[in-house]
Structure 1
Amino acid sequence: MKKLYYIIAAFVLLFGSTSCSDFLQKDPTESPSQDTFWQKKSDFDSALAGIYSVLYERPFSGVLPCWDGLTDNAIVRFSESTYGEVMNIAKGDLTPNQGGFVSDVYNNCYKGIARVHIFMEQLSNYQNVDITDEEKTFMIAQCKALHGYFYSWLYQCYRQVPLVTSSLDLNNMYQPKAERSAILQQILTDYNEAIADLPDKLYTEPEVSGRFTKAAVQALKARLLLFDAYDENGVAKKENMEEIQTVLESIRSGYSLASRTRDNFISTKQASSPEIMFSVRYLRPNLTNSMDKWYGLWSALTISRDLLDAFECTDGEKWGVSPLTVRPDEAVLYGTDKEAKIAEREKMFINRDRRMSESIFHSQKANFKMDGLADESIKLNDDNNESPTGFSMLKYIQPISETLTESVVSDQDVVIMRYAHVLLMKAEVENELHGPTEKALSAVNEVRDRSGQRGLRQPITQDELRERIRNEWRVETCFEGLRYFQLKRWKMMDKLNNLSDPGYPAYIKVYDPAFEFFPIPQTEIDKSNGILEQDPNYK
């Protein structure tokens, strides 16, 4: 079960995660290692692990929650590239010279794509008998899934990018941008061919643990298709939704929801989760991340009041509307008396959807047990890093017995796809196609029931259910890197313009429709000698 992790760990130790040996570089090189590598099956195992190792880099890894800083869910309070430079991007400082996510998505996706092509070409020429035809088929299917996944990020983040379908050399290393339709078709081809050959096994099964399965790629395909399933006015396209529904209905049974949402984010429970369909796997001591430090100790992700208000009360009614609402004293909540503010913050969690206390904590309290999570204790001791809004992300932070300090490292997996996402996609698609049917209600209520929230019932209109499903997406999947792309697909990004938080009024978000997509990194434009052209909105 742990074999893949050990291979990746060995790969990282030998070559590093950001600049691996020459045969896997993003830029083509002539390397002596080509003559000595690719000699046996273990070389291919290591190389495949090297492709997977790209997933430990931004934007796929522990920085994934920072994507919520580009939405109404949260604010990234530090401007460093460590956090994707989200603070600057959210304020409207989006230029071709921007670092962080603007350059990281582009560079690391193409790094992974280059590794895929080299691997597949070497495997196609490999003649030794220590790799069976079945093993070759599995390896190629993994590569195609990875190729599609890397391109799906490029497709959603940039308007147009180069389409690379083979290894590059010094004569063709710079490519012009392709049409979006060509990129989309390549992703779908990659996914379809991977789906055809990947084993139809659950993610918990040892043979596929840590790798793509048929169901995971089917779910990723559905997610990608949803990105284009609404027109420029935010109205669902029927043909697209029908195609997505067909994909979703083809996903195997066997997955189910974990006992609580938070279990999917606790390191000791992730490997056995019946819900996780794909994740970026970590394993101490060599494969670790800094999520506990970034989000727990430093409160790098400060949570918005807008997100807090989105969590319902326990009766299933909206906070502020429900009679169970316990309102804080707003003047005290955002005042200067620290102890009084803490008391008002605690009121925000009374009678609320338990996913709120599973996802968010407040006040950098020194030693606390989360409401409803009596078995978990977290000790924090750095008041200087209290969130400006008073609320920070808890979802990925691990329960520990010792005090959380600078030296703590973590090995929780970063979840990419889980069964709850599939259920919410099913609910969204069914409602857009046929309205508030029992099928749509059943899918969304399965997610709600897990957290003790009252099920949605008739009578309810299509518009009302659409609003409830979108809010369910928000509270169930906050900090999982999905909201930014959901707002884009629903054509709701304009709600971010001039957005600020009462606890952090100096931080004002800016959204310009011209900047719906990132610019191509200027360094790539400069290196291409005129072959690669910048997005016209950034010229």
Structure 2
Amino acid sequence: MKTLIKYTFLLLILLFVVGCNTFEPLDENLSGDDRLTSDPAMAEGLLLDAYEGMPNQFLFNDTSTDDAVTNYLSGYSRMATGEWNADNPFSSRWGQYQQVLYVNKFLTVIDQVQWKRDEETNNLFKQRMYGEAIAMRALRHFWILQEHGGLGTSGKLLGVPYITEFLEHDADFNLPRPDFEVTVQMINDDFNEALEYLPMDWDGDLSKQPSRYSGVDDDIYQYVFGTTQDGRISGRIIKAFQAKLNLLAASPAFMDGSGDYYQKAADILGELLSDNGGVAGIDPEGYYDFYDFNIGTRNFPEVLWRENVSTNFTWLEKQHYPPSLNGEGKLNPSQNLVDAFPMLDGFPFSESHPEYDPQNPFNNRDPRLKKYILYNGNDLNNRIIYTGVGGGSDEIDRVQFRSTRSGYYLKKLLDPGVVISSDGSVSASEKMNVFLRYTDLYLMLAEVANELGGPDYMVDGMSARTIIEALRKRAGIGLDSGDAYLSSISTKEQMRDLVRNERRLELCFEGHRLFDLRRWNMLDDIPNVIGSKYDGSSYNKFVVEQRLYSNYENPNYAPIPQSEIVKFDALEQNIGW
């Protein structure tokens, strides 16, 4: 018995020892700051996070304007029809502070990481990425300001909190909003500092290297700042966004021309576009060649900033092709937008125009209309679409959540050669996210030049008139006998209307109009969305969807999410929300 007790006791001791080792909590493999400083790839991941989810031309927020509706319930539709509020901030960009904090965290470790073994190369990598980081911090704050800057409940024109440090979980996030101009200045300050570190282009051109790198080994400079970095933010991209920032500040909803913001935008745009060849540098096919191109194309003169070309964008055709082509027909352009396209001779569309044909109101029109909008009788790669009576599944309201509600389908941004089979398979296509293109910049210069001195005021050899003439001529307007309507424009007010309409047409469905309407202080004045149906003998207009922005106190300034207002009492809400 004593022997049994002895061995039982020894067995319990052995089990206890083994158990301590067997059931010890496992290492959770959670990486901390020590991993950031010892692993350059992981550290750079913080910087690369700043590039994730950037606004591009596939936002399709046009359905919140007078340019389009959707055939399903979307946040942008709800925004336009009376459901927009601080609890439902459908267009909010407040979440972009996450990328700001990633950047600021990166800046806390950048000096502790060994990026390359060679000291000179390591130092150049560090400086390049520092420039990128503060540029991306500025850019994220610009996008937040574009959405949330505005008149606060106090009646003051406010910006958004500008965060320049990494805030730990227990930090004070209760930050007040500074004055609007203070935020603008802080964004500009970061952009200007970034310009000291970054080249204009990622081409390794030694003649254009920032002065701080003079004396650096040529081969090392070209290695660090060469073409392998293409796609990251550059000096040219920074300047373009500085121009956007200054134009935003100058616009009627904000400083309304006071200060020197129009002039600052003009100076930057004049330099950028002169470097692009001036008016003569406008890409002859730039109104479509950034989305409608052959597989394998990699040179895009129209595009200033983009992501890599990819085959992963055929969801666009699936979502927006009409149902007869096995698509879902989601975005439906409006008659309002169709009517904004002028006649072929350049004069505004009018039923009293001598070349207007009531049986085919799309004849003798601006050629961009046929290129951008799939109207009744238009085609996709010779596949004709009918949206009126007898149009089958493509007819207005024929198939719920698939057929058009307005009488029109989207054509722009889609690859007309794509074939969607009945089993859902899709033929090959290539596209890319576009963040900046030159036509936008030329139209910005036309706007600021006109505001500074009228239709013929020159900025580095370019005026609103010469730019608009070139863009309309590129589109095919007035080729037979000149653009008499443009020639008749003589006042700043007339040119302002024309420039704004050209922005509407050239940039339609690329996410610009909502922000343009807001900075022009015009969102609450847009009309209801109109559609048009062909009944077999004539086209009949009807109201598709109301626009109820006039019900809001001031929709030109978007709400800050109520969840943020509740958490942080120092944060002032925009007026009316």
TM-score by length of 1: 0.78
Structure 2 residue aligned with 1:396? 413
> Larger C-alpha radius of gyration, 1 or 2?
2
Structure 2 regions of 5+ residues with no counterpart? Answer: 1-28, 150-158, 205-225, 322-326, 385-392, 533-541
Matched, 1:386 2:407: no
Q: 1:507 aligns with which of 518, 540, 545?
A: 545
Give the AA of the match of 1:218: K
> Per-residue displacement from partner, 1:75-122 (whole Å, max 9, x unpaired)?
234324xxxx001101121122215423xx211x11211111112222
SS class of match (2:409): strand
Q: 2:512 aligns with which of 482, 498, 516?
A: 482
> Per-residue displacement from partner, 1:122-169 (whole Å, max 9, x unpaired)?
213324544532222222222222222211121121135432211111
Residues 167, 73 of structure 1: CA spacing in aligned structure 2 closer, same or farther, 3 A cutoff? same
Structure 1 residue 322: Cα displacement = 4.0
- Find the aligned partners of 1:430 and 1:318 in 2 and give their Cα distance: 23
Q: 1:429 aligns with which of 425, 448, 451?
A: 448
Q: Please say if residues 71 and 403 of structure 2, whose CA atoms lie closer than 8 Å, have aligned partners that are also in contact.
A: no
Matched, 1:210 2:234: no
Q: Please say if residues 175 and 571 of structure 2, whose CA atoms lie closer than 8 Å, have aligned partners that are also in contact.
A: yes
Structure 1 residue aligned with 2:343? 313
Structure 1 residue aligned with 2:102? 115
SS class of match (1:228): helix
Structure 1 residue aligned with 2:368? 355
- Find the aligned partners of 2:512 and 2:187 in 1 and give their Cα distance: 19
Q: Please say if residues 312 and 352 of structure 1, whose CA atoms lie closer than 8 Å, have aligned partners that are also in contact.
A: yes
Alignment of 1:131-530 (within 5 A): 132-159=122-149, 160-172=159-171, 174-179=173-178, 180-201=180-201, 206-231=227-252, 236-237=257-258, 239-251=260-272, 253-254=275-276, 256-260=281-285, 261-266=287-292, 268=295, 271-281=298-308, 283-284=310-311, 288=313, 290-296=315-321, 297-320=327-350, 322-328=353-359, 347-362=360-375, 368-369=381-382, 384=399, 385-403=402-420, 406=424, 408=426, 412-437=431-456, 439-440=462-463, 441-454=465-478, 455=483, 456-457=486-487, 460-496=490-526, 499-503=528-532, 505=543, 507-511=545-549, 512-526=552-566, 528=567, 530=569
Q: Please say if residues 67 and 529 of structure 2, whose CA atoms lie closer than 8 Å, have aligned partners that are also in contact.
A: no
- Find the aligned partners of 2:240 and 2:126 in 1 and give their Cα distance: 24
Structure 1 residue 272: Cα displacement = 0.9
SS class of match (2:439): helix
- Find the aligned partners of 1:323 and 1:133 in 2 and give their Cα distance: 68
Q: Please say if residues 275 and 420 of structure 1, whose CA atoms lie closer than 8 Å, have aligned partners that are also in contact.
A: yes
- Find the aligned partners of 1:429 and 1:143 in 2 and give their Cα distance: 29
Q: 1:106 aligns with which of 75, 88, 94?
A: 94
Name which of structure 1's ranges 120-129 and 151-160 shifts more when overlaid on structure 2. Answer: 120-129
Give the AA of the match of 2:161: P
Structure 1 regions of 5+ residues with no counterpart? Answer: 1-29, 329-346, 372-379
Give the AA of the match of 2:227: P
Q: Please say if residues 292 and 396 of structure 1, whose CA atoms lie closer than 8 Å, have aligned partners that are also in contact.
A: no
Residues 234, 169 of structure 1: CA spacing in aligned structure 2 closer, same or farther, 3 A cutoff? closer
Structure 2 residue aligned with 1:96? 86
Q: Please say if residues 163 and 175 of structure 1, whose CA atoms lie closer than 8 Å, have aligned partners that are also in contact.
A: no
- Find the aligned partners of 2:194 and 2:113 in 1 and give their Cα distance: 21
Residues 352, 520 of structure 1: CA spacing in aligned structure 2 closer, same or farther, 3 A cutoff? same
TM-score by length of 2: 0.73
SS class of match (2:304): strand
Residues 271, 49 of structure 1: CA spacing in aligned structure 2 closer, same or farther, 3 A cutoff? farther
Structure 1 residue 228: Cα displacement = 2.1
Give the AA of the match of 1:354: P
> Per-residue displacement from partner, 1:287-335 (whole Å, max 9, x unpaired)?
x57322222222222111111011112211112154332234xxxxxxx
**Matched residue count:** 467
Give the AA of the match of 2:556: E
Percentage of identical aligned residues: 23
Give the AA of the match of 1:349: F
- Find the aligned partners of 1:135 and 1:250 in 2 and give their Cα distance: 28
